Amino acid sequence: MRVLLAGGAGYIGAHTAVALVEAGHDVLVVDDLSNSSAEAVARVEQITGAAVPLLSADARDVEALTAFVREHAPVDAVIHLAGLKAVGESVAEPVRYYDVNLGSSLAILKLMAAEGIPTIVFSSSATVYGEPESLPLSEESPTGIDLANPYGKTKRIIEEILKDAAAADPRLRAVSLRYFNPVGAHSSGLIGEDPTGIPNNLMPYVARVAVGTLDRVGVFGDDYDTPDGTGQRDYIHVVDLAAGHVAALERAREGYEVYNLGTGTPVSVLELIAAFERASGKQIPREILPRRAGDVAASYCDPGKAERDLGWTATRTIDDACRDSWDWQSKNPNGYATV
């Protein structure tokens, strides 16, 4: 298949591009590079040896998307990873989040209808489950749009838009992938997570403490009802996550489906820090801080539906993720700006 990756220069997009090429697909990327670098796409080309055309444009720009797709026709599918993803920022700038995340999704659906592209795989998030009523989370677990933050609401609303679009067009194949916590990097050390400014997420924060660009990691609460009192999450290696996109694309059927992509194994903040210390051989100074507003105690999935329907399962551990994240961070201490 020839696949348009919207947001393909980003963290998950670049890994997905590699997985697609390795599975025999052709990839084109549209990305406005607002949270990424063209260097990531150049590194994808370096890893795979394939040419990956990059259009630097806003995914809300249907005209630009149309011209790009026609230039590379026929395009068979879209993987839509483009958008804004910082939870705190979404509370401060809700209109921008609704505009970019919903606007890009609507533009892509209009493009697909006009150009006869039948398949879309969308980056949703475990955040749509909000505060879990019970664990592990299955695709049938309750979700709502009464979520704590606009970011999560955009994901939930886009899921509903895809469901409605698939109900209205029997040829459409639409899949939402609810990612749990993506971590790690490609084993080449050439691509990885490169957040701008101070990272919001635990793994890139810990990686920067290990490499020496940040002093210590704050542990947001050690009084949760979890085995060691710190928050538990389902950390999924980004290369496993990328493979999940290939499986979803290849197995998608007419209609709409949702899949959790996670490992099913909860890992606490302190366990992740310990794993990173083992992987890096560095001590990671930490300090217990109050809970972060909006955090849940624990979130992990039942990945059984993806295994049954897509034949996909995560194979990499938190130790693998820490090793690969450390390899990426130590080889690229300033991310893509290192070159």
Name the residues that contact ligand NAD, by CB under 6 A: 7, 9-13, 31-36, 58-60, 81-85, 100, 104, 123, 125, 179, 181-182
The residue number with the shortest CB distance to ligand NAD is: 10
50 or 297: CB nearest ligand WQD: 297
What percent of the chain is helix, strand and coil (3-state, nearest 5)? 45, 20, 40
User: Could you tell me which of 320, 306, 18, 299 has the C-alpha nearest to residue 181?
Assistant: 299
- What is the token pair recorded at 81? 């990873």
Q: Looking at the DSSP assignment, which residues form a beta bridge with residue 121?
A: 79, 175
Min separation Cβ 85 and ligand WQD, Å: 5
Q: What are phi and psi of 73, to 5 degrees?
A: -60, 150
97 or 205: CB nearest ligand WQD: 205
The residue number with the shortest CB distance to ligand WQD is: 231
Q: How many CB atoms lie within 10 A of CB 37?
A: 19
Q: Looking at the DSSP assignment, which residues form a beta bridge with residue 124?
A: 178
Min separation Cβ 308 and ligand NAD, Å: 22
Residue 90 burial (10 A CB sphere; 0-12, 13-18, 19+) = buried
From ligand NAD, ligand WQD, none, interface partner of 11 (C-beta below 5 to 8 A by class): ligand NAD
37 or 181: CB nearest ligand WQD: 181
20 or 128: CB nearest ligand WQD: 128
Binding site for ligand WQD (CB under 6 A): 85, 87, 125, 127, 181, 200-202, 205, 217-220, 231, 233, 269, 292, 295
Min separation Cβ 313 and ligand NAD, Å: 19
Min separation Cβ 1 and ligand WQD, Å: 26
How far CA 175 is from CA of 6, 105, 249, 279, 282, in Å, comes to 15, 13, 8, 35, 40
User: Could you tell me which of 170, 102, 117 has the C-alpha nearest to residue 3?
Assistant: 117
From ligand NAD, ligand WQD, none, interface partner of 205 (C-beta below 5 to 8 A by class): ligand WQD
189 or 294: CB nearest ligand WQD: 294
From ligand WQD, ligand NAD, none, interface partner of 322 (C-beta below 5 to 8 A by class): none
User: Could you tell me which of 111, 120, 14, 27 has the C-alpha nearest to residue 70?
Assistant: 111
Active site residue ranges: 151
